């Protein structure tokens, strides 16, 4: 293997060299299984980095979909529904085709390290209990009405509430039957309306969003979510 820390010598001098103390006479045993260690300047120095979810604009960046500002206000039902500041709000929803940002959901696939987890975001509520996400009006997939998932945590990351945001059937119909220029090409065939949705059927009034705007101008969605802290 490698000659360690010894000067280059001719073969005839090898014996003398090996008995001549180089480092206090200690022998260095070469480990045949070792590979070369890194020997480059360190850097750049790693820095703490927030999760890629922490952003307000959670769009894909491909321009597909009708823009929507989603304004979510979190209030504390145990405090006369006063605004809850400092709550962590996670949202996620599907794209116009009804797909979530997942690479197959199996453990066998790789992904590009520069890809972002689109349509997934995290914000912390301000003093008004408000978070805002720039996103698009969600698409839909078979078996479910249009929805946005929400998971609210306290500032320490303890789960407070998992819920979903619902949309009026009439709005989903408008978007999916007249929004083909924005990428909504599925129509409403086999759509699951709120009354038949397994999540919303018995509670939709509590999860219903208020939406203004249009496909062309973009939508403004707002909802107040009550948690118990």
Partner 1 sequence: MARELVLCYRKLIDNSSKGRWERLLYDAAYEEYHMQVQYFDTEGKWDRYSDLLLAVNGAEKLPFLVSGAINGYLQQLNGRVPDVVNNVGKYFLRFSQYQFEIIDAHRSKQSTFRIAVSFFTDPLLWLDTISNYLLLQPLGDENCLTHLFELRPYVNIHSVKEC
How near is the Cβ of 14 to partner 1 at its closest, in Å? 21
What DSSP element (H or E) covers 206?
helix 204-207
40 binds partner 1 (CB under 8 A): yes
226 binds partner 1 (CB under 8 A): no
For tokens 């490698």, name the residue. Answer: 2
5 binds partner 1 (CB under 8 A): no
Pick out residues in 201-220 that bind partner 1 (CB under 8 A). none
Quick check: 200 and 145 in contact, CB under 8 A? yes
Can you tell me the distance from the alpha carbon of 190 to that of 192, in angstroms, rounded to the nearest whole number?
6
Residues 6+ apart with CB under 8 A from 42: none
Give φ, ψ of 11 to 5 degrees.
-60, -35
Can you tell me the distance from the alpha carbon of 225 to that of 169, in angstroms, rounded to the nearest whole number?
20
Quick check: 195 and 219 in contact, CB under 8 A? no
Among 67, 70, 76, 120, interactor with partner 1 by CB under 8 A = 120
Residue 214 burial (CB count, 10 A): 12
Site string for partner 1, 59-78 (x = CB under 8 A): --------------------
How near is the Cβ of 153 to partner 1 at its closest, in Å? 6
User: Considering beta carbons, is residue 163 or 192 the nearer one to partner 1?
Assistant: 163
36 binds partner 1 (CB under 8 A): yes
Partnered with residue 135 across adjacent β-strands are 68
Pick out residues in 157-186 that bind partner 1 (CB under 8 A). 157-159, 162
User: Considering beta carbons, is residue 149 or 186 the nearer one to partner 1?
Assistant: 149
Residues at the interface with partner 1 (CB under 8 A): 35-40, 44-53, 88, 90, 102-103, 105-107, 109-117, 120, 151, 153, 157-159, 162
């Amino acid at each position: 293997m490698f000659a360690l820390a010894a000067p280059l010598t001719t073969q005839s001098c090898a014996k003398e060299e090996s008995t001549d103390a180089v480092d206090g006479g200690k022998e260095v045993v070469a480990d045949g299984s070792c590979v070369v260690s890194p020997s480059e300047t360190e850097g750049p120095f790693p820095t703490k980095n927030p999760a890629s979810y922490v952003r307000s604009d959670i769009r894909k960046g491909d321009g597909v979909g009708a823009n929507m500002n989603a304004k979510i206000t979190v209030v504390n039902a145990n405090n006369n529904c006063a605004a809850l500041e400092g709550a962590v709000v996670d949202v996620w929803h599907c794209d116009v085709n009804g797909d979530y940002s997942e690479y197959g959901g199996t453990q066998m696939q790789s992904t590009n390290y520069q890809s972002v987890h689109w349509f997934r975001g995290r914000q912390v509520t301000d003093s008004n209990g408000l978070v805002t996400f720039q996103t698009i009006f969600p698409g839909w997939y078979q078996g479910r009405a249009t929805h946005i998932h929400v998971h609210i945590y306290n500032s320490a990351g303890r789960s407070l509430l998992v819920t979903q945001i619902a949309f009026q059937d009439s709005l989903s119909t408008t978007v999916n039957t007249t929004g083909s220029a924005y990428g909504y090409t599925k129509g409403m065939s086999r759509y699951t309306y709120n009354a038949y949705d397994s999540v919303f059927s018995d509670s939709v009034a509590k999860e219903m969003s208020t939406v203004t705007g249009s496909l062309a101008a973009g939508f403004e969605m707002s909802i107040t979510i009550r948690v118990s802290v």
